[in-house]
Structure 1
Amino acid sequence: MTVQSPRASRPADRRRQLIDHAAELFVQRGYPHVSMADIARAAGVTAPSLYRHFDDKQDLLGAAVLSGVDDLEICTDRALSGRMAPSDDALRALVETICKRPDSASLWRWTGAYLSDEQNREVALRTRAVLRRWAEVLFGDDPDLAGWERSQLTWALLSVAGSSAVHKTRLSPAREIDELVGRGERLLRLRPSQAPPRPPEVPPMPSETRRDEILDAASNLFAERGYADVGVDEIGAAVGISGPSVYNHFPSKAAILVGIGQRSSARLEAGVMAAYASSNEPGEILAALVDSYVTVITATPDLSVSFNNAPALATDPSARELLENQRRYVARWIDLLPQADPALAGGPDPTGPAEAAVGVHAALSIVNDAVRLRRGTSRPEFAAQMAYLMKGVLLPGTDG
């Protein structure tokens, strides 16, 4: 009997296997909270074996992100090669392309801050080239659609399709794709240049306490460099105190992150109370929630920082109430949507709430992704256009 050596039985593409395991862990737990030992364990190899393929974790992240771009390019070639599909067929092809490899679609959006400038430039250039190809098929040469609108709508479509990676649903994959295609069809009918202007926003109140100054400084540093790469000493220096003095106000860096989340949660809850006080109509309440969410996420980095660093608090007992408040907040949207959209309300179909969840996360991903990637956030009309796109995706017959 011939006995195969371990080397002969080793999978041919071990490097790709390692990349796939790493990508899955990075998406599930967040890049800062995954070690090379975790990846080696998940892949069933030793740590030295992992280092034979990659210099360090950052090198592995770069390979994983670029592998995802490779996948997107290959799937785009398959979907669009040799034909110019009708826009509805192209939309379904785009959604299916993203949903088949959710980690590939979402990894860069979540980890761009940890890549080198050169890596980010390469990913951005290649992704834009792919999206331009999709835009040519989806929008053709529509003379009424400006170039910047085509770009914004295509990026928003990428967010809608990629939203499948940020939540769990009770829908079958086919039903989820149908729901995302339906949301995408609504998005394609929108014209960002027609977004109604928003009333001038009241700037946030200046910090009056040392505690708030610490939260402000930490929020800005976490947004710029990531939670894991910022130390308490740096937070203290940003407000003119020593690192140990920070502990007079917060027992740990995690407690600072919880405080940032609690502050953004309180602002969202204020928006909820105002929305329900403004109307008894579910659609109007939901539209008001969109407006308040956009205001909160664009006014300060707090909400985006809290959302992006949720994995850091997943096992922290002090964060349980905060995470539960965040779940309840999204649940309000999900409860309202079937009441506002007759297509999801009533009837014997038990999947209505699941379809509503898909729609809500699709809409939220549009602004969450744009803020995370800082895509157009400095433009004065950014908030108005985000609210317009979100309402158009969520609510039937609305123009924002």
Structure 2
Amino acid sequence: MATEKPTRRTRPADRKGQLVQHAAALFAERGYTQVSLADIARAAGVTAPSVYRHFDDKQALLAAAVLAGVDDLEACTGRALADDDAQVADLIAAVCTLGVRRPQSTSLWRWASQHLTDDQNREVVLRTRAILHRWAGALAQGTDLSEREAVTLAWAALSVAGSMSVHNTRMSTTRALEEVELLVRRVIALRPATAPPLPPLPPPGAGVPTRRDEILDAAAAMFAERGYSGVGVDDIGAAVGITGPSVYKHFSSKMAILAGIGQRSATRLEAGVVAAYASTADPAKLIAMLVDSYVNVITSTPDLSVSFNNSYALAGQPTAHDLVDLQRHYVARWVDLLMEAQPDLPRERAAVDVRAALSVVNDAIRMRRGVKRPEFGAQMAYLMKGVLDV
């Protein structure tokens, strides 16, 4: 009787690609610094040492994940605009499908620059810019859009398509795709050159800055430039002319500094809420005023973008619990107002709309895209209101 041969376990054909997919999903969900190689190995069902057969370290995995996302964007753009008869509708469908089904492909590269090398960033920027200019060409064809307007709309459309990665709204894939496509169509119908002026931010209150304010100012500027993980307490102290240990007289930890930055931005946003409610009770006008306030705050100080971009570091921290609640409450207020302004809009759709609108300006600030142009703030507010249809 012949003996039965033991079954040999076969290795997946593309273990490297599998690792990249799991890494991309984890990085997008938790942030680069909060994910370890062991986490990635566990998600892929392999041992940590086996990851090193394909990648030197975690940074190499991040670079591969980011470039894989750019590959996906190039591929879907190429398919949608493959021939002369290609329609903008085909491009919208392709990009939104990618954003909903593989959100890391349309979002991971947007915040990973601080963890990539100069050469890697250069490749990502050049390739992404080429993709967006192809989109802009398709959007401008047969319209009165200028090249700059078309590029602005292309970037905004990408932000909307990739916005599903920044929240966990429960919605079926089909409905999410329908909503994101609707929002992208709203975006491309806009004309940024017609954006009305942005109402100015009320003048700041008088008062001499304290050492605590100086520390927060310096930390916010450095976190914005180098990322939270790339800055130490000694760096912050040096920026304000004190030693690292002296910083601890004002803040118990670097995390406490980040929380302080978040609290300060929350206070500024709340001032905008109070001013809005003091002037009108109309929900559509209220949310439009909150858009103006948000854009004014995020363009006048790095606090808000730093708080938003590093929210993963605050998640789960007992000392930051109140701040996280404030941020959620602020976004929930937008959702409630949008539902009041549009009574037929279900909450899950309103939540998607609000996050998409916020992503437009958050992404532009994060990538420093056109932020020095005098019309930047006005155009961001105009695009956000267009997404929200207010």
TM over 0.5: yes
Q: State how far apart, in whole Å, the 2-side matches of 1:53 and 1:90 are.
A: 34
Contact 1:295/1:383 (<8 A) preserved: yes
Aligned pair in 2 of structure 1 residues 204, 379: CA closer, same or farther (>3 Å)? Answer: farther
Give the match's secondary structure for 2:198.
coil
Contact 1:84/1:137 (<8 A) preserved: no
Q: Name the counterpart of 2:148.
A: 148
Q: State how far apart, in whole Å, the 2-side matches of 1:45 and 1:207 are.
A: 57
Q: Deviation at 1:186?
A: 1.6
1:154 counterpart letter in structure 2: A
2:375 counterpart letter in structure 1: E
Q: Name the counterpart of 1:164.
A: 164
TM normalised by structure 2 equals: 0.95
Q: State how far apart, in whole Å, the 1-side matches of 2:27 and 2:357 are.
A: 23
The alignment status of 1:236 with 2:237, answered yes or no, reads yes
Q: Deviation at 1:388?
A: 0.7
Aligned pair in 2 of structure 1 residues 288, 199: CA closer, same or farther (>3 Å)? Answer: closer
Q: Name the counterpart of 1:180.
A: 180
Deviations 1:40-84 (A, max 9, x none): 222222222212211222111111100111112222223332353
Q: State how far apart, in whole Å, the 2-side matches of 1:207 and 1:98 are.
A: 47
Q: State how far apart, in whole Å, the 1-side matches of 2:184 and 2:282 are.
A: 25
**Gaps in structure 1 of 5+ consecutive residues:** 345-351
Q: Name the counterpart of 2:360.
A: 366
2:15 counterpart letter in structure 1: R
Contact 1:73/1:130 (<8 A) preserved: yes
1:393 counterpart letter in structure 2: V
Deviations 1:313-347 (A, max 9, x none): 11210111100110000001100112222552xxx
Q: 2:373 aligns with which of 360, 375, 379?
A: 379
Q: Deviation at 1:223?
A: 0.7
Q: State how far apart, in whole Å, the 2-side matches of 1:22 and 1:312 are.
A: 18
Q: Deviation at 1:395?
A: 2.1
2:6 counterpart letter in structure 1: V
The alignment status of 1:2 with 2:5, answered yes or no, reads yes
Q: State how far apart, in whole Å, the 1-side matches of 2:17 and 2:280 are.
A: 53
Q: Name the counterpart of 2:310.
A: 309
Moved more, 375-384 or 40-49: 40-49
Contact 2:81/2:87 (<8 A) preserved: no
Deviations 1:272-322 (A, max 9, x none): 111111111111000000000001111111111111111111121011110
Q: State how far apart, in whole Å, the 2-side matches of 1:336 and 1:199 are.
A: 20
- The equivalences for 1:16-31 within 5 A come to 16-31=17-32
Q: Name the counterpart of 2:262.
A: 261
Q: State how far apart, in whole Å, the 2-side matches of 1:109 and 1:10 are.
A: 33
2:5 counterpart letter in structure 1: T
Q: State how far apart, in whole Å, the 2-side matches of 1:89 and 1:300 are.
A: 39
Q: Name the counterpart of 1:57.
A: 58
Q: State how far apart, in whole Å, the 1-side matches of 2:156 and 2:385 are.
A: 13
Q: State how far apart, in whole Å, the 2-side matches of 1:56 and 1:14 are.
A: 16
Q: Name the counterpart of 1:286.
A: 287
Deviations 1:125-151 (A, max 9, x none): 111222222333333142x21111110
Runs of 4+ in 1 over 6 A off after TM superposition: none
Q: Deviation at 1:202?
A: 5.6
Moved more, 288-297 or 93-102: 93-102
Q: Deviation at 1:172?
A: 1.4
Q: Deviation at 1:179?
A: 1.3
Aligned pair in 2 of structure 1 residues 54, 195: CA closer, same or farther (>3 Å)? Answer: same
Contact 2:133/2:151 (<8 A) preserved: yes
Q: Name the counterpart of 1:13.
A: 14
Q: Deviation at 1:87?
A: 2.8
Moved more, 172-181 or 237-246: 172-181
Aligned length: 386
Contact 2:170/2:348 (<8 A) preserved: yes
Q: Name the counterpart of 1:214.
A: 215
Contact 2:98/2:105 (<8 A) preserved: no
Give the match's secondary structure for 1:375.
coil
Deviations 1:256-275 (A, max 9, x none): 11101000011111111111
1:237 counterpart letter in structure 2: A
Deviations 1:5-36 (A, max 9, x none): 44xx1111111111111111111111112122
Contact 2:261/2:303 (<8 A) preserved: yes
Q: State how far apart, in whole Å, the 2-side matches of 1:218 and 1:84 are.
A: 51
Q: Percent identical across equivalent pairs?
A: 62
Contact 1:283/1:336 (<8 A) preserved: yes
TM normalised by structure 1 equals: 0.92
Q: Deviation at 1:92?
A: 2.5
Query: Aligned-pair RMSD on alpha carbons?
Result: 1.7
Contact 1:40/1:47 (<8 A) preserved: yes
- The equivalences for 1:315-394 within 5 A come to 315-344=316-345, 352-394=346-388
2:232 counterpart letter in structure 1: G
Aligned pair in 2 of structure 1 residues 87, 77: CA closer, same or farther (>3 Å)? Answer: closer
Give the match's secondary structure for 1:240.
coil
